[in-house]
Copies of this chain bind each other. A is one copy, B any other.
Amino acid sequence: MLSKKAQYAFRALTALVEEDMPRLQSLEGQSPHDPAVPVPLNLLVQKHPMSVKFLETIFLELRKAGILGSKKGKGGGYYLMRHPEDVPLAQVMRVLDGPIAQLPCVSLNFYEKCEGCNEQQCGLHRIMSDVRDAQLGVLENRSLWDLARAGR
C-alpha cells in the first residue's frame, strides 16, 4: 500500500504542478527547465486539506532527494527542480516509501540478499521479479505531468 505520506505528496505535487501550469504549457518541451516560482505550503494545503506540518516534513525529504527546490523567507516556497514530465512516480515513491519491490531480494534500488535462498532456483524470487517488472513498467513511465493532466 501507498503510505499516507506518499498519498499526501502526490496530492500536493499535483497541486504544485497545476499552480505552475500556465508557465509550463508555454515552455512546450523546452529544456533545460528553468526553476519555477516558489509556491508556499499553505497555498497547497488550501486545495487539498492536510496538516501543513506533516507536508513540511514530506517536502523536506523530496527536497533532499533533489526532486524539489525551495526558497526560504517571505515569498518563498517549493518548486520542482525538473519539468514534471521528467519526474516518474517511481522516483517519488522510492524517496518516501522506500523499495517498490515486494521483497528485498528482488529490489533494484534497495537490494538485500535473503539468507538461505538460492535466487537461481527460488520460485518466489522469479515470480516477484516479474511482479516488480510489471509495476515498474507503469511507475517508471508515468510522471507528475501525467498525474496533474489527468482530469483535463
- Using CB atoms and an 8 Å cutoff, list the residues of chain A in contact with chain B: 1-2, 7, 10-11, 14, 49, 89, 99, 101-103, 116, 118, 120-124, 126-128, 130-131, 134-135, 137-139, 142, 146-152
Cβ-closest 7 pairs across A and B: A121-B151, A123-B150, A134-B134, A123-B147, A130-B138, A2-B102, A131-B138
- Given A118-B151, A127-B146, A130-B138, output 6 extra A-B contacts at Cβ < 8 Å: A7-B103, A89-B127, A123-B149, A123-B150, A124-B147, A134-B134
**A49 / chain B contacts, CB cutoff of 8 Å:** 116
A14's nearest neighbour on chain B, judged by CB, is B123
Taking a contact as CB atoms under 8 Å apart, the answer to whether A148 and B123 are in contact is: yes
**Candidates B89, B103, B122; contact of A2 at CB < 8 Å:** B103
